[in-house]
Amino acid sequence: MNSKDFCNNVVTIPQFLGTCWFNAILMSILYSQTSRKLLLHLNKFKTRKSPYFKIFYEILYKNYISPEKSKEYFDIMRPEKILSYLIKNKKELDDVVKNGWSHNIFLPIFIKKIGMKSHSFEYYNGKFYCGISENIYIKSIQNKMKYLFKISILLDKVNEIKYARKNPEYLFINMWDNLGNQKDIKLIDVFITESIKAYGDKHTLGALNIKYSGLDTFDDIIIFNGDKYILDSCILANYNKDNANGHAITGITCKNKKYVYNGWMRATIDPAKNDMSFIAGTLPCELMKYDWDVHKDAKFCINPLGCNIKELNKSPQEKIQCFSFNKGKRTLVYVKMSSKYKSLDENKSLDKKTNNLKQFRGVIKTNLNEIKKLLELKLKKKIEDPKNREEIKIISNKIIKLREENKRIRNDIKIHMNANAKPKANANASGIITKQQYINKIKELYPHYVNLQSYSINELKEIYNRYCPINVLDYHNNSCYLDTLLFALFNKKNKYIEQYLLNAPVIKYSNAPRSLYEYGKQIQVELNRLYNVISSQTSNKKVEKCSALRKLFKSYNDLYNKHVIANNELIEWKGSQTDYNVVLNIFNKIFNIDNSLKVKITTSTDRIENRLFIDFIANDLLINNNTITIKNHYYDIFTADGKKYKHKIEYLKGEMLFMYFNRTYVDNADDYTDDRAKKINSKIIPAIKLKLKENKKNIYLNSIIIHDGSGRGGHYTCLYDCNGIWYKFDDIATNKITKIGTFDDIIKNNNYTQNITGLYYW
């Protein structure tokens, strides 16, 4: 899995109340790359008995890239609940949850609570001051929380730094330059000015005779007292607090790339969000890719209705929170480096396959316990009243059903294990798997793959490590058209679907209200969530339904019809049976999708067109041919003025291609309700790969959409390839994987070839 795919799967910690500052601390310390490796290496949480150590163990080890676990866990163990174990004074707790707190004050407290050590330095007027943040505390005075300063013991911290026997795990640099708002300026001016009056420069880093380099220029890697530290994260508050409510986010590191975390869900009750309306969400925004730089004065704002950030060229008109890693209150988090840290990023406890099998076996165990209880109850009923046959029969039927379910699950486990069994790529003497070894093993799985030398080693790893997903989308109110399309597109991690669809710009229509654009953003958020669920290739305790997406489609389509094109498509999205081409069409309305597919159209002359990756192929092609063999071109046959015309359409270039085949026609277009819709049964014989003239690499068949039924209705399923074997997705059979066989088994089966409506290559 490449860094982008992996980091997109990281499940961020949700914010429910005013704990943004604490969420930012949790993400920086438990999730950011070097800090996380440090904690996993030291393994302190596993051996401590304190309640909050158990909590941090669960977060660190089991809820990092597990969406289904994390949702359940954080619904119960919310950040405000975690805080209750760390802040025992209820008045203080209630106040900081309701009104927020300063991350720079609580950060050293948190580090001490988890058994680590840190030094905090305040960067103010070109000097580093010690002991300020560690000695600020809050206290209830006349029922109001006040910030107080323990100036009398400030030098104790200075001496602790000066005479420390070893350097701490963390260095925190609180930046008080370029704050941009009066609220923060007034707060820090009081405390630092007071300390300077009392001690002059005695509590500056320069007075401690500690050697350091790179710190005064805030380099990514610094030397402090002989040890190397790396800038791992940066917690920051919005710089425009004078005009908008305060809010904290953090920039973290994942797989050596930089991301921004914001804990808001659309259901967060945070004073910083003002009185906006939000649709209830399930998980918070994923990590947002952003190459943050503490030296760069790049300003951006958080979109509260979507999981994205918008860079600013001028001051925002709305009262929304805006940030810069070079402006406002910021804390640079430096983590001590060590070659001993292991590259531990995933949930440490279980790998993906074990997660799946553990769930399956857990169900078997539960069923066996239930069978045992029912057998005991059955025996008891027989003893009490042997004539009570009806009740005994009901118990017996329950036992039979449970045994049948266990038999089915055991079979699923067997199929699941076989599906993901693959030839082992053995490392060389240096412990490294070479590019050629990956190529050899991939050829065993996919004999039809060619030109593998042109692939990078990361691309080869991604192909080799593919894992066969199980069905997690559940049929609900005629949802098979949408479930099947999403599974066909999302069953594997795919950088092209991410680029051209999931991260495509949402179209802003000038004649439509902003709410249309916001619905588009919400649809994109939900599509990304479902993509991560399906392609993460782990089983889900709770199956997914696409109901929320269908509601959003309806809201978008209704507004589109009203303000953009009247009565464009009157579709009852939430319950009616329809064709999945309506979803492909609405994608084109919502997103500005690049014309990434280059085609050549040959008639009397040649012309070149750039199109969407989706090619809608008219029913004329099927009507005029009993068998269509898919190549890198086809002949489009159409009728005009009573005459038939034919031209050649050739695919020249494209990273991916979705071919949609219209299999229906109507005898009388004016009388569609008279059951005149017919289905064309011509065979479609797909190619396992397509070689496009201008492509450096072939594109390979990933999935096939099948429609069983007539021209007026039926059911959609999907056939998909994994490890060279083909499997079937059916939203009626969730949490299951059904083996079909080889590609030849598909093209020899008329039930498949006569019902193909979609082919997806990439």
pLDDT digits over 595-629, tens only?
A: 999 999 887 778 999 999 999 988 888 888 899 99
Summarize pLDDT for 217-235 with one digit per residue, the tens: 999 999 999 899 999 999 9
Contact of 83 with 154, CB cutoff 8 Å = no
Share of the chain above pLDDT 90, in %: 35
pLDDT of residue 623: 86
- Minimum mean pLDDT among 110-124, 241-255, 420-434: which range? 420-434
Residue 243 has pLDDT above 90, yes or no: no
Rounded average pLDDT over 652-674: 77
Tell me whether residue 290 is in a domain.
Answer: yes
- Stated length of the chain: 762
**CA 97, 99, 100 angle in degrees (round to 5)?**
65
Reference 535, options 508, 562, 501; nearest CA is 501
Same domain, 172 and 284: yes
Could you give the angle at which helices 33-42 and 51-62 cross, rounded to 10 degrees?
120
Tell me whether residue 471 is in a domain.
Answer: no
Q: Which amino acid is at 264?
A: W
- Cα–Cα distance list, 742 to 51, 721, 724, 727 (Å): 52, 9, 7, 9
Same domain, 601 and 723: yes
C-alpha span between 620 and 618 (Å, rounded): 5
Task: Take residue 482 and report the two structure tokens written for it.
Answer: 């949408």
Summarize pLDDT for 520-559 with one digit per residue, the tens: 999 999 999 899 888 875 544 467 889 899 999 999 999 9
pLDDT of residue 420: 56
pLDDT of residue 359: 53
Q: Which amino acid is at 671?
A: D
Higher pLDDT, 274 or 734: 734
Same domain, 574 and 662: no
Higher pLDDT, 711 or 410: 711
Same domain, 417 and 430: no
Tell me whether residue 467 is in a domain.
Answer: no
> In total, how many domains does the chain have?
5
Residue 699 has pLDDT above 90, yes or no: yes
Rounded average pLDDT over 129-143: 76
Share of the chain above pLDDT 70, in %: 80
Summarize pLDDT for 404-425 with one digit per residue, the tens: 777 766 766 665 555 555 565 6
Q: Which amino acid is at 655?
A: E
Same domain, 514 and 389: no
Tell me whether residue 472 is in a domain.
Answer: no
C-alpha span between 740 and 757 (Å, rounded): 18
pLDDT of residue 351: 38
pLDDT of residue 353: 43
Summarize pLDDT for 282-323 with one digit per residue, the tens: 456 778 888 999 998 888 887 655 566 777 666 655 567 889
C-alpha span between 391 and 373 (Å, rounded): 15
Contact of 761 with 701, CB cutoff 8 Å = yes
pLDDT of residue 426: 59
- Minimum mean pLDDT among 73-77, 384-388, 435-439: which range? 73-77
pLDDT of residue 163: 84
Tell me whether residue 475 is in a domain.
Answer: no
pLDDT of residue 198: 87
What confidence tier does 6 reach under pLDDT thresholds 50, 70, 90? low
- Minimum mean pLDDT among 47-56, 475-484, 620-629: which range? 47-56
pLDDT of residue 121: 95
Contact of 284 with 266, CB cutoff 8 Å = no
Tell me whether residue 502 is in a domain.
Answer: yes
pLDDT of residue 279: 36
Tell me whether residue 458 is in a domain.
Answer: no
Backbone angles phi, psi at 455, to 5 degrees: -85, 150
Q: Which of 563, 590, 617 is the last residue of a domain?
A: 590
pLDDT of residue 738: 84
C-alpha span between 448 and 435 (Å, rounded): 18
C-alpha span between 731 and 409 (Å, rounded): 17
- Minimum mean pLDDT among 76-80, 158-162, 288-292, 479-483: which range? 76-80
Contact of 263 with 13, CB cutoff 8 Å = yes
Summarize pLDDT for 155-198 with one digit per residue, the tens: 888 888 888 888 999 999 999 888 888 877 877 777 888 888 88
Coil, strand or helix: which one is 38? helix
pLDDT of residue 713: 82
C-alpha span between 499 and 504 (Å, rounded): 6
Task: Take residue 100 and report the two structure tokens written for it.
Answer: 């927020």
Range of the domain at 437: 426-453
Same domain, 545 and 606: no
Tokens 């038939």, residue located: 644
Same domain, 636 and 678: yes
Contact of 599 with 695, CB cutoff 8 Å = no
Any idea what the CATH number is for the domain that residue 680 is in?
Answer: 3.90.70.10
What confidence tier does 427 reach under pLDDT thresholds 50, 70, 90? low
For CA atoms 262, 264, 269, 273, the dihedral sign is positive
pLDDT of residue 352: 40
Same domain, 269 and 373: no
Reference 330, options 449, 175, 495; nearest CA is 175
Same domain, 565 and 635: no
Rounded average pLDDT over 83-104: 83
pLDDT of residue 676: 63
pLDDT of residue 316: 59
Mean pLDDT, the chain, rounded, equals 81
pLDDT of residue 356: 47
**Residues 6 or more apart whose Cβ sits within 8 Å of residue 584:** 485, 614, 616, 658, 660
Summarize pLDDT for 335-360 with one digit per residue, the tens: 998 866 644 444 443 334 444 455 55
Tell me whether residue 466 is in a domain.
Answer: no
Same domain, 62 and 211: yes
Residue 274 has pLDDT above 90, yes or no: no
Same domain, 192 and 139: yes
Same domain, 311 and 358: no
